[in-house]
Structure 1
Amino acid sequence: MTDERKLPQLVMRLANLASLPALELPAGYHLRHFEPGDELHWEAIVEKSFGWSRDFGRRIASHPYYQPERVLFICDQEKPVATACAWEEPQWEADCGYLHMVGVDPAYGGRGLGYSVSLAALHRMREEGKRHAVLETDDFRLSAIHIYLKLGYVPAYEGSELEERWRQVHDKLNIPFIPRPGVQAATKPGKPDKPNEDALVLNERHRIYGVIDGVSSMTGYCDADGSTGGWIAAQLLARELGADTPQLELREAVLRANSQLMQRMDEVGVDTSEKWKRWGAVFAVVKVHASYFEYVQSGDCMLFARYRDGSIRVMSRNQVAGFDHQSLTALRELKESGTLTEEEISLRMKPIAIGNRNLANMPGGYSVMNGDPALASLMEYGHISLANVQRIYAVSDGMFHFIENDEDPRKWEKFLNELDVQGIKAYMERLVEEEELDPLCEKYPRHKKSDDKSAVIVELARINSSV
Structure 2
Amino acid sequence: MKVESFFSACPNKVVSEDSIVLNEKINLYGVFDGATPLIPFKDENGRNGAYLASNLFKNYFLSLYKRNLSLVEGIVAANRMLKEYMEKYKVNQEKYENLWSTCAAIIKIEEDGKISYAQLGDCMIIAEYQNGTIKALTRDTVKDISYRAKAWREEQRKQGVTIPDEEYFQESTQQLIFNRSLANKENGYTVANGKKEVINFIQHGQVNISEIKTLLLITDGLFHPNFSIEETFKKIQAIGLQVYSMELEQYEKSNNLRSDDKTGIMIKLL
Q: d(CA) in 2 for partners of 1:217 and 1:192?
A: 16
Pick the aligned partner of 1:277 from 84, 89, 98.
98
RMSD: 2.0
CA distance in 1, matches of 2:240, 2:106: 20
d(CA) in 2 for partners of 1:216 and 1:264?
17
Which residue in the other structure is 2:155 paired with? none
CA–CA distance in structure 2, aligned partners of residues 345 and 456 of structure 1? 40
Q: Name the residue aligned to 2:134.
A: 312
Offset at 1:252? 1.7
Q: Is contact 2:26-2:65 (8 Å) kept?
A: no
The answer as to whether partners of 2:224 and 2:232 remain within 8 angstroms in 1 is no
Equivalent in 415, 421, 430 of residue 238 of structure 2: 421
2:146 and 2:242 map into 1 onto residues whose CA distance is 26
Note the residue ranges of structure 1 that are not aligned, 5 or more in a row: 1-180, 328-343, 442-448, 463-467
* Equivalent position of 1:202 in the other structure: 22
How do 1:251-270 and structure 2 match up within 5 A?
251-270=72-91
Distance 1:401 1:198 in 2: 17
State how far apart, in whole Å, the 2-side matches of 1:266 and 1:201 are: 25
1:233 pairs with one of 48, 53, 67: 53
Normalising by structure 2, report the TM-score.
0.87
TM-score by structure 1 length?
0.51
Specify whether residues 228 and 361 from structure 1 end up closer, same or farther in structure 2 by C-alpha distance, changes over 3 A only: same
1:400 aligns with 2:223: yes
- Aligned with 2:193: secondary structure? coil
CA distance in 1, matches of 2:66, 2:173: 45
How far does the alpha carbon of each residue in 1:37-93 deviate from its partner, in whole angstroms, 9 at most, with x for none? xxxxxxxxxxxxxxxxxxxxxxxxxxxxxxxxxxxxxxxxxxxxxxxxxxxxxxxxx
Distance 1:385 1:345 in 2: 49
Alpha-carbon contact 2:146-2:175 (below 8 Å) kept: no
Q: Is the 8 A contact 1:300 1:320 kept in 2?
A: yes
Matched positions, count = 251
Specify the SS of the correspondent of 1:236.
helix
Alignment of 1:224 onto 2:41: no
Distance in 1 (alpha carbons) for counterparts of 2:128 and 2:52: 32
Deviations 1:250-284 (A, max 9, x none): 22221111111111111112111011111100011
Deviation at 1:217, TM superposition (A): 2.3
For residue 358 of structure 1, what is the aligned residue in structure 2? 181
Report which structure shows greater RCO (CA 8 Å, sep ≥6).
2
User: In 2 relative to 1, CA 283–430 (structure 1 residues): closer, same or farther, beyond 3 Å?
Assistant: same
Q: Distance in 2 between matches of 1:363 and 1:373?
A: 15
Out of 188-197 and 388-397, give the one that drifted further: 188-197
2:158 aligned partner: none
2:148/2:187 contact within 8 Å kept: no
Please give the residue correspondences for 1:63-462 in structure 2 after superposition, counting only pairs within 5 Å. Answer: 181-191=1-11, 193-247=13-67, 248-290=69-111, 291-324=113-146, 348-400=171-223, 402-403=225-226, 411-439=228-256, 441=257, 449-460=258-269, 462=270
Structure 1 pair 455–223 and aligned structure 2 pair: CA distance change class (3 A) = same
Instruction: Determine helix, strand or coil for the equivalent of 2:93.
Output: coil
> SS of 2:107's equivalent?
strand
Deviations 1:70-128 (A, max 9, x none): xxxxxxxxxxxxxxxxxxxxxxxxxxxxxxxxxxxxxxxxxxxxxxxxxxxxxxxxxxx
CA distance in 1 between counterparts of 2:235 and 2:17 reads 24
AA of the residue aligned to 2:129: Y
Note the C-alpha offset of 1:309. 2.4
Amino acid of the residue matched to residue 238 of structure 1? K
Kept in 2, the 8 Å contact 1:391–1:457? The answer is: yes
**1:124-158 Cα deviation digits (max 9, x unpaired):** xxxxxxxxxxxxxxxxxxxxxxxxxxxxxxxxxxx
* Percent sequence identity over aligned pairs: 27
Moved over 2 A (4+): 191-194, 244-249, 324-327, 344-347
Which residue identity is paired with 1:415?
T
